[in-house]
Amino acid sequence: MKGFMNNIYDCVDSYAPLLDVEYSLLLGRKGKTTLLNIQFCENDFFHLLGLQYLTDLAELKRDRKIVFNALKSRIIHCHQIESSCFYNVITNRIRYLPSLEFLFDSNDTIFKYNNGLNSFSKIQAEFLMKNTIEDKNIFIFLSSDKSEHRAIM
């Protein structure tokens, strides 16, 4: 992956197969176990990729599932996303999102995340997954949505 830059379509194409996947992770610490069931949906892609930061693109100001499907069917083009004044904010996500399945499969380290004690991020989450790619720490926040957990990069 060194020296290679993914584009938005690489992200969509690697994320789409995860829509049919559920990860069940059993965590244990000090005799207590926690089961995390992690599922992916079209709506989550928008936030995982950071598209909410591209506030200058009108084509992204609609339902997140519609945006995902428009990207998947190539109705929204790479050059439209890349034309955003804020594109540089999401380039790392575009670089590493195609590795999402690898990150979950490697399951390196998962921490219980305490929102109150961490100034690490404003993201509200219950768990934090940490992995390393190309000597760079990649963090995935896991937050609960009823009985499922969602991934947030």
pLDDT digits (tens, 9 = 90+) for 105-145: 886 777 666 666 555 566 677 787 888 888 888 888 887 66
Task: Give the whole-angstrom CA distance, residue 54 versus residue 3.
Answer: 25
What integer is the mean pLDDT of 57-71?
A: 96
Cα torsion angle, 101, 102, 104, 110, sign: negative
Its domain, for residue 23, covers: 8-152
* Residue 90's pLDDT band (cuts 50, 70, 90): very high
Residue 47 within any structural domain of the chain: yes
Query: For the segment 14-54, what is each residue's pLDDT rounded down to a tens digit?
Result: 999 999 999 888 888 788 888 888 889 999 999 999 999 99
| Mean model confidence pLDDT for the chain | 84
Query: What does the angle CA 15 – CA 17 – CA 23 come to, to the nearest 5 degrees?
Result: 90
Residue 1 within any structural domain of the chain: no
Residue 96 within any structural domain of the chain: yes
Residue 107 within any structural domain of the chain: yes
Domains of the chain: total = 1
Check whether 61 has a pLDDT greater than 90.
Answer: yes
Residue 90 within any structural domain of the chain: yes
* 13 CB burial (10 A radius; 0-12, 13-18, 19+): middle
* Residue 150's pLDDT band (cuts 50, 70, 90): low
Residue 17 within any structural domain of the chain: yes
Residue 2 within any structural domain of the chain: no
Task: Give the whole-angstrom CA distance, residue 140 versus residue 48.
Answer: 9
